[in-house]
Amino acid sequence: MSIPLQGKTILVTRAAGQASQFNDRLTKLGATVIEMPTLEIHPPTSWENLDRAIANLADFHWLILTSTNAVDYFFARVLALGLDTQALAGVKIAVVGEKTSQCLKQHSLQPDFTPPEFVADSLVEHFPEQLAGKKVLFPRVETGGREVLVKEFTNQNADVVEVAAYQSCCPATIDQTAKIALLQKSVDIITFASSKTVACFHELLQMLESQGQNYLDGVCLASIGPQTSKSCVDLLGRVDIEARDYTLDGLTTAISDWAVKNTL
């Protein structure tokens, strides 16, 4: 088996508890993986709006789910209200991303539409029917999410109901192992799977800044896709790798390709 990441130390910045499969892939390719959780996932400030929407699911034409967190929190709340997936009879479901689709299938549901690219922009561009007059339920992160989907659907005269299903926050401290690796400059690659991980990493990095040191000098910054890359450039000054397929598998492939080219 090829081990293109042999000798590389990779810092993975994902939400706590959500990095295991990605870590396993990188480890099998020879990498030493250090987790630096940059997001903590919590319930929203209030369940009121989500509960109201769930109680009126029959009024909606579409349910839009753009992350595994949205799927998990939405269906946990459905169950908490004493309902089950039958409450979605007659409601079509659109998801963004293969992981989101797989998560939905764990609830014995199949998505009615998954866009060809794993970003909200693709969902808007390829949506399978006219949205004018359609009522759309969009359970999402409480703060900090992108607005493109809501804006574009509203421009197409859809009635979009946004409800907070979960909240993602920056941790208060840096994981100690990750902190030592950054201070000792033993990290070769840092991976980012969303714009918010970039923002929170940037915030956490300020805790290390001292005497003008730049702990990212010589470190390869790897992004899962265009929006995350933009955040890397805006907040960290550059991006070195961008996945062609906007998935963790695509990011793994891009990192491996980079490592091969840079060891020749």
CATH number of 191's domain: 3.40.50.10090
The pLDDT of residue 237 is above 70: yes
- The pLDDT, as a whole number, for residue 192 is 96
Please report which confidence band the pLDDT of residue 214 belongs to, taking 50, 70 and 90 as the band edges.
confident
**222 in a domain, yes or no?**
yes
Reported pTM: 0.84
The model's confidence at residue 21, banded by pLDDT at 50, 70 and 90, is confident
Same domain, 100 and 58: yes
Confidence of residue 26 (pLDDT cuts 50, 70, 90): very high
pLDDT band at 16 (very low <50, low <70, confident <90, very high): low
Q: Identify whether residues 81 and 145 lie together within a single domain.
A: yes
d(CA 216, CA 193): 18
What six digits make up the tokens of 88? 């979605």
Which of 138, 169, 200 is the last residue before a domain boundary? 169
Q: Are residues 27 and 68 in the same domain?
A: no
Residues 144 and 245 in one domain: no
Instruction: Give residue-wise pLDDT tens across range 54-69.
Output: 999 999 999 999 999 9
Structural domain contains residue 88: yes
* Residue 4 covered by a domain: no
Predicted local distance difference test score (pLDDT) of residue 9: 97
Question: How many angstroms separate the CA atoms of 200 and 175, rounded?
Answer: 13
In a domain, 184, yes or no: yes
pLDDT at 254 over 70: yes
The predicted-structure confidence for 177-211, as pLDDT tens digits, reads as follows 999 999 999 999 999 999 999 999 999 998 886 64
Please give the pLDDT value at position 54: 97
| Residue 123: predicted pLDDT | 87
Residues 175 and 105 in one domain: no
- Least confident range of 1-10, 26-35, 229-238, 253-262: 1-10
Q: Tell whether the model's pLDDT for residue 223 goes beyond 60.
A: yes
Q: Does 194 fall in a domain?
A: yes
Question: Among positive and negative, which fits the CA dihedral 35, 215, 9, 221?
Answer: positive
Which alpha helices (DSSP H) does the chain contain, by range?
20-28, 48-55, 68-80, 98-105, 120-126, 148-155, 176-183, 195-205, 226-236, 248-261
Tell me what the mean pLDDT of segment 109-120 comes to: 86
Q: Which domain holds residue 225?
A: 9-39+171-261
pLDDT at residue 264 in the model: 54
Q: Is the pLDDT of residue 246 over 70?
A: yes
Which residue, of 148, 169, 190, is where some domain finishes?
A: 169
Answer yes or no: is 2 within a domain.
Answer: no
Q: What is the mean pLDDT of the chain?
A: 91
Q: How many domains does the chain have?
A: 2
The per-residue DSSP string of 238-258 comes to: --SEE-SSSSHHHHHHHHHHH
Same domain for 46 and 35: no
Say if 3 falls within a structural domain.
Answer: no
Convert the pLDDT of each residue in 117-167 to its tens digit. 767 788 888 999 999 999 999 999 998 777 888 999 999 999 999 999 999
Q: Where a domain ends, among 134, 154, 169?
A: 169
Are residues 73 and 181 both part of a single domain? no
Q: Are residues 186 and 222 in the same domain?
A: yes
In a domain, 58, yes or no: yes
- Asked if residue 178 and residue 196 are part of one domain, the reply reads yes
The torsion angles phi and psi of 253, rounded to 5 degrees, stand at -60, -45
What's the average model confidence in pLDDT over 220-225?
96
In a shared domain, residues 191 and 154 = no
Same domain, residue pair 187 and 154: no
If asked whether residues 140 and 218 sit together in one domain, one would say: no
